[in-house]
Structure 1
Amino acid sequence: MQRPDPSADTAVAVVFFRPSPEQVARIVERFAGRMPVLVYDNGGIPPEGRARLRDAEGLGLLGEGRNRGIAAALNALAEAALVAGFSRLFLLDQDADATVETARALGQALDRATGESPLPALVGPAPAPKPGHKAPAYPLRPDLPPREGLRPVEFLATSGSLVDLAAFARIGPFREDFFIDAVDLEWCFRAWARGWSCWMDPGTAIPHSVGRGTLRARFLPVAMPDQPLFRMAVYVRNTAYGWRLPHVPARWKLKQAAYLPLQIGLYWSRHRFSPRVLARLLAALAQGLAGRLGRPADAPP
C-alpha cells in the first residue's frame, strides 16, 4: 500500500525582500507545480522576478511591495494558508536552500512527533554550516527526552520550519511589533508556555545565513552575525524587551543578560568605536526595556 505524501496538505510560504533574480528563479524552479506556493512581496522584487512569479504554476502572490517586516509577512502567509484549507506551512526566506524533499522529510518528522504531549507546533531542520557565516544554535529544552529521533529545542529559525497551522491558530501570530529579529524565538517560547512544543530533526539540515558574515571576538568566545546597524539595533531592542515577558524562561534571560553586552561591545569595536553606533544601540536597549517597539525609523522601505 502506498504511503500518503506528508506534504500533500502543506503550502510553501516564502518572504521576499529585495531578492536577486536568481533567488526568485530558485523558488519557482524548485517548488512551483510541485507544491502550492504562497509568496509575500516585502519590497524590491525585480521586474523579471515578478513576471516569473505571475507565470508560475500554483503560486499566489501577496503583499503590496513595501517592507512590513518579517512578522507581518509571515502572519499574512499563515492567514492565507488557513483560508485556503492547508494544515501545514513550510516557511522559507529567499536565501533558504531547501527543496520539496526537505518539506516531505519535515512532514514525516512532524507526523512522528504528533500523538504525544506536548503536541508539536513546528519542526525544523538542523543548521548546516555555510562558509563565512555562523550557524545558529538551538538549545535543547530541559527535562524533555528526544521523541522518535527528534530533539526538543527552545526555539528554531522560522526559515526552514514546518508549522502546524492548528497550533499556530491557538498560539497566536508572530509579534509584528518586533518587526524582524527574535520573532521566531519569542513565538517558540510562547508555544512552550501554552502547552505546545518545538522540535529539530537532526536528519534534515539546511544552511542558514544571517547578515553579511560573522564577527568574532579576539579573546572571548563570542561570535555573531555582521549586520546593518538598524538590524543590530532591533535585535538589541527585542532582546531587552524579552526580559519583560513572563513566558521567556529565566535561564534564557540570564544568558542573554550576560551575552548582550559582549555583543554590543563586539559590534561597536567592529565600527571603530563610533559614538553614533554606540548611541544607537544604547537607545535601542532603552526602548526595549521601556517596551517601545514597532517599526524602526531607519528600517529600509
Structure 2
Amino acid sequence: MENKICAVIVSFNPEPTNLQKLTEQLIACGVAVCLVDNNSQNKEQIRSVFSVSSGVHPFYLEENTGIAHAQNVGIRFALDHDYAYLVFFDQDSTIDAEFIQQQTAAFEQLRSAHPRLAAIGPAFVDKKHGFHYKIVNIDRHGRRTKIDTQHMQQPFAASLIISSGSLVAADALRAIGPMDERFFIDYVDTEWCLRAHAKGYVIFVNPQVQMLHAIGDNSLKLLKWRVPVHSAFRRYYRIRNAFFLMKMPHVPTLLALREIAFNLVHQLVLILFGHNKMGYVRSLWRGLKDGLNGKY
C-alpha cells in the first residue's frame, strides 16, 4: 500500500498514549501518518513518543493556528508525496483493524459508478450515550433531511460529513482546494463539503463502518434534549463563522440563517445554565461583532 494512503492527524493537548495507539493502528494497516501538532502544552512529551517512530511524519507548529491550517499542512505533505488518498483523524479517534481496508474498498467500488466521488465518511456512534448520529442532507435551497444510519447497509450520498474518519481522494482535493483557514475550527468541514458539491463532486457515507464520536466537552440535559457544551473560546468561532457562511455563494442562505439562529439559541442556553456565564456572554458579543463586521 506504499504511497497510497496518508493519514492526517491534528493534535492539540492530546493524551499521548491515545495518539500513539491510533498511529500504531494506522501503520499496521500500511498507512503513512502525518501528525500535525497545534503547539500543544505537552508537545515535548509528544516529541519523545514519535521521535523514533519510522511511520510517523510529525510537524510541530509554533502556535495554535486552528484545525484548518493544521489539516492543510498535512494535505500539502500528502499531495507533495503523491499519495492517492488522505484520511483525516482527530487525536482521540479510535478505529478497528478493518477500517482502512473497508473504506478504501467501498470508495473504489463506488468510484466506478461515481467518477467524481470526492470523499467517503463512516457512520458515528456517540461515545458516551451509544446513539447513532444522524446524517444531514441539504437540498440546493438549504432544506434539511436527516438520515438514520443505524439499520442501513449500503453506502449512500450525503451532503455533509465531518472530517474525522473521512477518506478523501487526492485528485479531488487538488480540484476542490484545501480547507479554508479563515474558519480556524468550526464549519471547516461543512464549507469544504458544500464547495465540493458546488464543483460537481459527490460525497458518500458508508454505514457499515462506524466510529465513536463525542460532540462537545460535556452536555446539558434539558427536557428531552442534550445540549453539547463547548468552551467559550470554541463558541466564539461557532457564532462568528455562521455569519461567514452567509457570504459564500456555494452555501445555501437558508442553511446559514438556520446555523446563525441555532447558535444564538444554543449560546443563550449556555449563558443561562452553563458554569462560565460571563465567558459565554463575552464570546457571544465578540462572535456577533466579528461575524457582522466580516473580521477573520
* TM-score, reference length from structure 1: 0.85
Amino acid at match of 1:156: I
Distance across 2 between alignment mates of 1:249 and 1:226: 27
Question: 1:276-291 counterparts in 2 under 5 A?
Answer: 277-291=280-294
Which residue of the partner structure matches residue 37 of structure 2? 41
> Deviation string for 1:8-34 (max 9, x for gaps)?
711111111111121232123312353
Distance across 1 between alignment mates of 2:236 and 2:50: 33
> How many angstroms does 1:224 deviate by?
3.4
Q: Is the 8 A contact 2:235 2:283 kept in 1?
A: no
Does 1:244 pair with 2:239?
A: no
Q: Secondary structure of 2:203's partner?
A: strand
Question: 1:103-182 counterparts in 2 under 5 A?
Answer: 103-117=100-114, 119-131=116-128, 136-142=133-139, 149-182=154-187
Distance across 1 between alignment mates of 2:130 and 2:230: 11
Q: Is the 8 A contact 1:132 1:213 kept in 2?
A: no
With 46-55 and 177-186 compared, the bigger mean Cα shift is at: 46-55
Q: Structure 1 runs of 4+ off > 4 angstroms? A: 132-136
- Aligned in 2, Cα 1:134/1:230: closer, same or farther, shift over 3 Å? farther
With 69-78 and 150-159 compared, the bigger mean Cα shift is at: 150-159
Q: Is the 8 A contact 2:3 2:84 kept in 1?
A: no
- Aligned in 2, Cα 1:9/1:261: closer, same or farther, shift over 3 Å? same
Counting aligned pairs with the same residue, the percent is 26
Amino acid at match of 1:54: S
> How many angstroms does 1:132 deviate by?
5.3
Q: Secondary structure of 1:126's partner?
A: strand
Q: Secondary structure of 1:215's partner?
A: strand
Which residue of the partner structure matches residue 297 of structure 1? none
Q: Is the 8 A contact 2:124 2:211 kept in 1?
A: yes
Does 1:67 pair with 2:72?
A: no
Q: Is the 8 A contact 1:134 1:223 kept in 2?
A: no
RMSD between superposed Cα atoms in Å: 2.8
Which residue of the partner structure matches residue 16 of structure 1? 11
> How many angstroms does 1:272 deviate by?
6.1
Q: Is the 8 A contact 1:236 1:284 kept in 2?
A: yes
- Aligned in 2, Cα 1:62/1:94: closer, same or farther, shift over 3 Å? same
Distance across 2 between alignment mates of 1:215 and 1:19: 24
Distance across 2 between alignment mates of 1:224 and 1:284: 19
Does 1:229 pair with 2:232?
A: yes
Q: Secondary structure of 1:127's partner?
A: strand
Distance across 2 between alignment mates of 1:129 and 1:169: 32
Q: Which runs of 5+ in 1 are unaligned?
A: 294-301
Distance across 1 between alignment mates of 2:242 and 2:115: 26
